[in-house]
Structure 1
Amino acid sequence: MADTPHPIADEARARFSVLRQSADAAVVAAIERLAAEGEDPALNRVNALEFAARHDLNEDKVLGAFVHASRLGLFDMSWNLLCPGCGGVLDANATLKSVKRTEYNCALCVADYEPTLDEMVEVSFTVNPRVRRITAHDPDKLSMWDYMRQVFWSSGVVFDEQSFDDVVREVVIDSVELTPGEKCILSLQLPSAFVIVFDPVTHSSQFIDVKGEPTRDRQELSVVYNKVHAHTGTVEMRPGPLRLTLENRTDTRVLTGVFVAGDALHHFLGQKRHFLTAKRLLTNQAFQDIYRTDALSVDQRLKITSLTFLFSDLKGSTELYERVGDLVAYDLVRAHFKALNEAVALESGAVVKTIGDAVMATFPTPERGLAAALRMREALAGGDLTVKIGLHEGPCLAVMLNERLDYFGQTVNIAARVQGLAQSRSIFATRPVVEHPAAARILAAAGLVPALQSATLRGITDAFAVYEIP
């Protein structure tokens, strides 16, 4: 935290008061302290999961608070396309609707990636300038290394001030800032190593494979920056002097660094921490409630490589209405939905939709879905209603359907069909759920032994292995 608090406008304080009405008070207090006392870098691209861990706060309550804070204009939400290798931000978007390209290229890693919402899209939160202006609001004024830390790299990259400075000293041969139209010459001594000339602003790179016998002859290389973000290839050179000519033909500055791509750089880039993924936020109930009709464009089809689906339905609701009357039955069904929604929220899930007495919910991982199913069953035990539950995990597409966020694919269909197998309080789940290590530990701790069955599911040609959890 900063030594002295920063003044926050009265309008922003009023919005924090509104935030306290819809989010956990302790979480809001921590966020407001951050806005008033945090150093500038701490308010840029806030990693909500790291924030929750550092303040010993519930993750889902923190996510809900930041989502509401974004809606109120206290923080700006950013959906950042990441390189899975180096953790660099390949593209930053104000909304998920802007993620429409089918492929993203990392010039530093020389790799193409198809965007998925699991680990390639980071969601971060930056304080709004009306609350407090920070240096990252003017990225063109940041120093090269502050730009690398605050703009190029994601919140999943671990920065320790001392170790980062040590890495810079060890891996950087030289660096320079070039204004638009500027040209310069760097005189370097090439080591026998793989060298990368990289600019994080234009995402452009030139590789130099330095090998062979050292030379005293001066070697020449020219790099020109334009608006084409790309890797320009690899050239072979010998250890020794290099005259590197750099020319900036763009309308913005470039920040060229000459890096030794050795063990020190790879070790630094290999240190990653958990960050808030798009998939994780999509399974947050607060986000579902606020953005479910505004998350995607109607023409978007975004891939998720792994999502857990839970389908539930009531057994005996029709007979209940006949037996106790509409008013009493309605209250019982409402209580059922309340219990189910609470179970879903407690396990970091989100209710996507309800259809009659049926519920469709999503969870980031299989053990979360299984734990929610067990909570649901326990909540309705001994009552007039029995809940039938099915679980499945796998890949899917996030889409807009009927003007709201929804999911499409075989995984969704299988989860619904598996739920249809349940006829009692037993939970039916597929192999990817039951055999997931964390889910298996939950079952073992509860003394539950799943019984393997072979079932025929509509739309599935072959017999399908499912487990009944008694």
Structure 2
Amino acid sequence: MWPLVADTDRFNRDTGVPPVEVLGTEANARRRLRLRRLGVPIEWEEEPFEWVRPHRFGVVRRYARGPIVELRVEARLEERDDAGTSLDYDVRVRPRNLLGLLAAAVQIGLVSRSRFARTFRTYDSLATTSEPAQPARLASGGGDRLRRGGEKLREQGVDPRLVAALVVLLERGDEQALARLRPYELADAWQAGRRESLELLLHSTRIGLTELRWELLCPSCRGPAATVGSLRDLDTGVHCETCGIDVSADLDRSVEVTFTPSPSVRAVDRREFCVGGPQLSPHVVAQQLLGPAEERRLTVRLRPGTYRVRALGEAGGDVFEATGETVVTLANDSESERLLRLERTEWRDRAATAAEVTSLQAFRDLFSTEVLRPGEPVSVGTLTVLFTDLRDSTRFYREVGDAPAFGSVMQHLDVLREAVASEGGAVVKAMGDAIMAVFTHPAAAVRAGLAAQRAVAGRPLELKVGVHTGPCIAITQNGALDYFGSTVNLAARLVSLSTGADVVVSGEVLADPEVEELALRREPLAATLKGFEESLELWRVR
């Protein structure tokens, strides 16, 4: 029940609360909000939500004028012995006058009580069944576009089961869920591969069924500080109003790719009905507002992982490993009020980051014009870079002639492209008979290099391969997305050491756990590389 009840944005919508407008954000995520009921504006200051997942949450709203002074909401959920859930939803009002007393009795005691009960009964049913299909709400001509789009996707070789799931989602999915489609969450729901689900949405965007969005996420609250439709429009730094901090663009850590239906298929209502509930920050296990020198002890049940306690808007925090029932002490040792959070650190597990998406061959094929703002380098975190080159290609041209040799080289480039794409990588550029490719995992790059060598062998061609992993910088170069930095430079140097019957890798690549699991034959390599004075650990693997 928690994911449904604690989704206060959806709950407010489902119970008939009008959409809200944010008038301003103060310290510790206090907000000034307004809604209109029957044309009459109602304004209030909202304290930050407090919660301990998945047992309780609450919020306090104070009204500057009108018949109500204050409204407090607290929800408590407890697991029952019969595997059900007990829900206690408590709403308390402090009226300003007699009119407020009457308004509270009618609106909250009768109208809202009935709506809340009906909505909770619906959620109780949803907790044990799948989301019921909603009536189709397509744009004019949207049904035909959706049908033709589904046919195109199947013709392009996309899994028909995933195409059918996407068509149903776009046609009958919940409005709020459609406003922000996360590929990896859909993959989990569809019991499908993450790459397959992501590539499905990339293809559906290319044919006009969906739209792609780049979200610059705040590292503290992890909410979108900015959303743009193109990498070119992505600012390298924006301000998060909730946390009061500046956010810089890092394609691996702070930029997530999401999708939404194309308006030509289905227009989605993007209005907000609540802006601070627990489900808006699913990585936060507990959030508590503490006064100066205040301390609270919380007993929480944590799934295995890494957690930290920190104040909203602050970097760092106290990091620890935990699993199962855990007692956590939140302490505010400052002289001012602070909003403290206990949060999971593994937030990217469910996020398709820009670094991952831009290193997919499907993305580069479908969105070749999608580039960063010229002249603005952006960190993409750690990537694995692969370079290839043909051994003795000049001699090969002389021996067989230019035309036959050129044909063989072009065929070898097709082989490389297929090997890279099959491992989830992307060819960044071809340089004569050589290529540069990027991957998010070292093992994928090594497998692709070895597979390409096997496929090319005997053509008669021999393929030299070098692989290194480390931090990279992305930049727009010659109208395309390219990568630079020491990691790229070292990978480019390694290819010259390959004999064509091995892949030369750095020690960082070989130390990767997934590469170790490949159980490759390995041989240490001693070499001096131009531009790298330090001693390097290098290996030949087969």
Does TM-score exceed 0.5, indicating one fold?
yes
Alignment of 1:71-470 (within 5 A): 71-102=206-237, 107-108=242-243, 113-135=247-269, 137-139=270-272, 142-144=273-275, 149=279, 153=281, 157=282, 192-193=294-295, 236=336, 261=340, 266=342, 273-442=349-518, 444=519, 448-470=520-542
Q: Which runs of 5 or more residues in structure 2 are unaligned? A: 1-130, 297-311, 315-333
Q: Which runs of 5 or more residues in structure 1 are unaligned? A: 159-163, 174-187, 195-204, 208-233, 238-258
Change (3 A) 1:326 1:5: farther
> How many Å separate the matches in 2 of 1:112 and 1:206?
9
Change (3 A) 1:421 1:3: same
Indicate which of 62, 68, 93 corresponds to 2:197: 62
> How many Å separate the matches in 1 of 2:397 and 2:287?
72
Alignment of 1:48-59 (within 5 A): 48-59=183-194
> How many Å separate the matches in 2 of 1:465 and 1:144?
51
Deviations 1:69-122 (A, max 9, x none): 2233322211112233442222222222232234655754x7655431112111
- Confirm or deny: 8 A CA contact 1:417 1:457 kept in the other structure: yes
User: What SS does structure 1 have at the residue aligned with 2:464?
Assistant: strand
- Confirm or deny: 8 A CA contact 2:214 2:256 kept in the other structure: yes
Change (3 A) 1:18 1:452: same
Cα distance, 1:298 vs structure 2: 1.1
User: What SS does structure 2 have at the residue aligned with 1:423?
Assistant: coil
Deviations 1:173-221 (A, max 9, x none): 9xxxxxxxxxxxxxx9999558xxxxxxxxxx899xxxxxxxxxxxxxx
> How many Å separate the matches in 2 of 1:325 and 1:271?
55
- Confirm or deny: 8 A CA contact 1:351 1:359 kept in the other structure: yes
Verify: 1:6 aligned to 2:136, yes or no.
Answer: yes
Q: What is the match of residue 151 of structure 2?
A: 17
Change (3 A) 1:268 1:316: closer
- Confirm or deny: 8 A CA contact 1:116 1:303 kept in the other structure: yes
Identical-pair percentage: 31
- Confirm or deny: 8 A CA contact 1:396 1:408 kept in the other structure: yes
Verify: 1:45 aligned to 2:176, yes or no.
Answer: no
Change (3 A) 1:467 1:76: same
Change (3 A) 1:337 1:101: closer
Change (3 A) 1:82 1:393: same
> How many Å separate the matches in 2 of 1:386 and 1:78?
42
Deviations 1:355-393 (A, max 9, x none): 110010000121111121121122223441110000011
TM score, norm. by length of structure 2: 0.62
User: What SS does structure 2 have at the residue aligned with 1:133?
Assistant: coil
Q: CA RMSD in A?
A: 3.4
User: What SS does structure 2 have at the residue aligned with 1:308?
Assistant: strand
Deviations 1:220-259 (A, max 9, x none): xxxxxxxxxxxxxx7647xxxxxxxxxxxxxxxxxxxxx9
User: What SS does structure 2 have at the residue aligned with 1:77?
Assistant: strand
Amino acid at match of 2:271: D
* Stretch moving more, 357-366 or 56-65: 56-65
User: What SS does structure 2 have at the residue aligned with 1:451?
Assistant: strand
How many residues in Structure 1 have an aligned counterpart in Structure 2?
Answer: 376
> How many Å separate the matches in 1 of 2:180 and 2:514?
30
> How many Å separate the matches in 1 of 2:440 and 2:346?
24
User: What SS does structure 2 have at the residue aligned with 1:266?
Assistant: strand
Change (3 A) 1:361 1:273: closer
TM score, norm. by length of structure 1: 0.71
- Confirm or deny: 8 A CA contact 2:287 2:342 kept in the other structure: no
Cα distance, 1:316 vs structure 2: 3.3
> How many Å separate the matches in 1 of 2:346 and 2:426?
32
Change (3 A) 1:171 1:299: closer
> How many Å separate the matches in 1 of 2:313 and 2:466?
52
User: What SS does structure 2 have at the residue aligned with 1:464?
Assistant: coil
